[in-house]
Amino acid sequence: MTRSTTGPAATDPLPSPKERRRLREARELSERQVAAAVGVTAATVRAWETGRASPRGRRRAAYSRLIGCAEPRTAPSRPGKESGRGTMSTVEPDALPAPDAPTPDGPTTDRPVPGGATLATPTPGGTGPAPQPGSLTAEEAYDDLYGRTAPGLTRQVFLLTGHRGLAVEAVQHAFTIAWQRWPEVATDRDPAGWVRAASYEYAMSPWHRLRRSHRRTDPLPEDPARRALLDAILGLPPSYRRTLLLHDGVGLGLPETAAETEASTHAAACRLLNARAAVAELLPAPADAADPGTGPAPLREPLAALSLAEEVPAPPAARVVRARGERVAELWTRAALYFGVVLIGATAFTLHTAPTHYEEPLAPAERVGGVPPLGGPEKLTPQDLKLQKALKGELAHGPERLVPRIP
CA terminus-to-terminus distance, the chain: 122
Look at residue 90 in the predicted model and tell me its pLDDT. 34
Q: Is the pLDDT of residue 130 over 50?
A: no
The model's confidence at residue 371, banded by pLDDT at 50, 70 and 90, is confident
**pTM score, whole prediction:** 0.54
Closest-CA residue to 195 (of 109, 77, 112):
109
CA distance 160 to 228: 15
Percentage of the chain beyond pLDDT 70 is: 72
Which of 70-84, 182-196, 215-229 has the highest average model confidence (pLDDT)? Answer: 182-196
Q: Which of 97, 120, 84 is nearest to 193 (CA)?
A: 120
Q: What is the pLDDT of residue 342?
A: 96
Measured on CA atoms in the order 109, 25, 188, 76, is the torsion positive or negative? negative
* Mean pLDDT (the chain, rounded): 74
Q: Which of 297, 277, 279 is nearest to 226 (CA)?
A: 279
Q: Which residues of 7-19 are buried (b: 16+ CB within 10 A; e: fewer)?
A: eeebeeebbbbbb
**Per-residue confidence (pLDDT) for residue 346, from 0 to 100:** 95
What's residue 100's pLDDT? 39
pLDDT at residue 112, as a whole number: 37
Q: Among 16-25, 100-109, 377-386, name the one with the lowest average pLDDT.
A: 100-109
Residue 116 identity: G
With residue 209 as reference, give the H or E element that holds it.
none
- How far CA 331 is from CA of 139, 178, 318, 339, in Å, comes to 21, 17, 20, 12
Q: Are 204 and 173 in contact (CB under 8 A)?
A: no
| Burial class of residue 406, CB neighbours in 10 A (0-12, 13-18, 19+) | exposed
Q: Is the pLDDT at 10 greater than 50, yes or no?
A: no
Measured from the Cβ of residue 190, the count of other Cβ atoms closer than 10 Å reads 23
**Which is more confidently placed, 119 or 83?**
119
Q: Is the pLDDT of residue 275 over 70?
A: yes
Instruction: State pLDDT tens for residues 287-321.
Output: 444 445 455 677 888 887 777 777 777 888 888 88
